[in-house]
Amino acid sequence: MSLFAGFGSDNHSGVHPDIIKALRDVNEGYTIAYGLDEYTKHAIDKLKKIFGKQTAVFFVYNGTAANILGLKSVTDSFHSIYCAESAHLTVHECCGPENFIGCKLVNIPTNDGKLTIDLIEPYVIGGGDPHMAQPHVISLTQATELGTVYRPKEIQKLADFAHANGMLLHMDGARLCNAAAFLKVDLNEICGKVGVDILSFGGTKNGMMFGEAVVFFDKELSKNFEFIRKQGMQLTSKMRYISTQFSAFLHADLWLYNAQHANQMAQLLAKELRRIRGLKITQKVEANMVYAIIPNHCITALQKKYYFHRFNERTCEVRLMCAFTTKKEDVFEFVRDLQKYI
């Protein structure tokens, strides 16, 4: 029997039918390649309506490329980038940032995946000293890798701090939609409007097949991006297959419904888990994931049927993720199975 992978990651979900339809619709006739087509113009216009007409918007295939190429285009090799020690950028990009950007990544310990000025400030040293890496970017993840969500004011504070210290604020928004759905705000309320300079805007985890947008809130910052994207092997010729997905994703708030559903399923899962004695939810459940400490023998038994990650081997902390496709019945079945083993 193959393992049920639904709680392993939102990447394990399929593609929303509206996106499949958009892909089918666009699959007719000829169009100019490399993003010079009408579909791409339309999708970029839609994104500019959300993030502001002064922005510069580009598409790439995946989140790792969005982060690395976006950051590369605003940094030099003698710069440092500050991120949480749990950030995808530093943990799960195979030192791509170090290799392609060539910068120093400064990993900052946090309890909940969220950076604060107090946490960052002690590391912001050496500005102007030719012996030391030059502080240049703060990169935060919204929603964080631990499922927590920055409030608009928290982002604004980080942006003000970054700018006051001659730095930029980058946001890995692989799950920006989940964060906006949780906060009940428009997408731009938690990025452009609160001082974010560069955004990786993710679609894949929330219903698209592939595709991320890199958004520069100041066009000047984007002046090298087209060249860096090509060098970085992410200038896709058949761009319409990314663009049309974004148009469908943004149409009639599909992004929002998908994210709301994934978040609600995480809330349901957390509520059911909290009823079980001996379990501990370890992070605030705000976006679409639940972190919990589950007795070791239960994890072993559950993993015979379910594929999910042990986040911390030593403490038996697991990560359970929900997606736009998660069903209530799947949540109840998982919890019933867990109760059997407790």
The residue (of 145 and 197) whose beta carbon lies closer to ligand PLP is 145
- 100's CB contacts (< 8 A; 6+ apart) are 68, 69, 72, 232
Closest distance of CB 174 from ligand PLP, Å: 4
Q: Site for ligand PLP (CB under 6 A): which residue of 204, 234, 236, 247?
A: 204
Binders in 210-269 for ligand PLP, by CB under 6 A: none
Segment interacting with ligand PLP (CB under 6 A) among 36-44, 63-71, 131-139, 190-198: 63-71
Report whether 287 contacts 148 (CB < 8 A). Answer: yes
How many residues touch ligand PLP under the rule CB under 6 A: the total is 11
State yes or no: residue 63 binds ligand PLP (CB under 6 A).
yes
Report whether 208 contacts 124 (CB < 8 A). Answer: no
Closest distance of CB 63 from ligand PLP, Å: 3
State yes or no: residue 64 binds ligand PLP (CB under 6 A).
yes
The residue (of 72 and 88) whose beta carbon lies closer to ligand PLP is 88
The residue (of 104 and 319) whose beta carbon lies closer to ligand PLP is 319
Closest distance of CB 210 from ligand PLP, Å: 8
The residue (of 202 and 338) whose beta carbon lies closer to ligand PLP is 202
Binders in 119-158 for ligand PLP, by CB under 6 A: 141, 145
The residue (of 134 and 245) whose beta carbon lies closer to ligand PLP is 245
Segment interacting with ligand PLP (CB under 6 A) among 17-25, 62-70, 242-250, 277-285: 62-70
State yes or no: residue 206 binds ligand PLP (CB under 6 A).
no
Integer Cα distance of 195 and 52 in angstroms: 13
Closest distance of CB 144 from ligand PLP, Å: 8
- The tokens for 235 are 């200038």
- Residue whose C-beta lies closest to ligand PLP: 63
- The tokens for 265 are 């399923």
State yes or no: residue 88 binds ligand PLP (CB under 6 A).
yes
Cα–Cα nearest to 273, from 210, 225, 331? 331
The residue (of 201 and 279) whose beta carbon lies closer to ligand PLP is 201
Surface-to-core class of residue 59, CB atoms within 10 Å of its CB (0-12 exposed, 13-18 middle, 19+ buried): buried
Integer Cα distance of 221 and 199 in angstroms: 12
Q: Which amino acid makes up residue 75?
A: T
Integer Cα distance of 116 and 144 in angstroms: 13
**DSSP code for 132:** S
CB burial string 218-238: b at 16+ within 10 A, e below: eeebbeebeebbeebebbbee
State yes or no: residue 62 binds ligand PLP (CB under 6 A).
yes
State yes or no: residue 286 binds ligand PLP (CB under 6 A).
no
Enumerate the β-bridge partners of residue 290: 320
Report whether 214 contacts 200 (CB < 8 A). Answer: yes
**DSSP string for residues in 196-262:** --EEEEE-GGGT-SS-EEEEESSGGGGTTHHHHHHHTT---S-THHHHHHHHHHHGGGHHHHHHHHH
State yes or no: residue 174 binds ligand PLP (CB under 6 A).
yes
Cα–Cα nearest to 130, from 74, 77, 75, 78? 78
State yes or no: residue 172 binds ligand PLP (CB under 6 A).
yes
The residue (of 192 and 203) whose beta carbon lies closer to ligand PLP is 203
The residue (of 174 and 316) whose beta carbon lies closer to ligand PLP is 174
The residue (of 134 and 150) whose beta carbon lies closer to ligand PLP is 150
**Chain positions contacting ligand PLP, by CB under 6 A:** 11, 62-64, 67, 88, 141, 145, 172, 174, 204
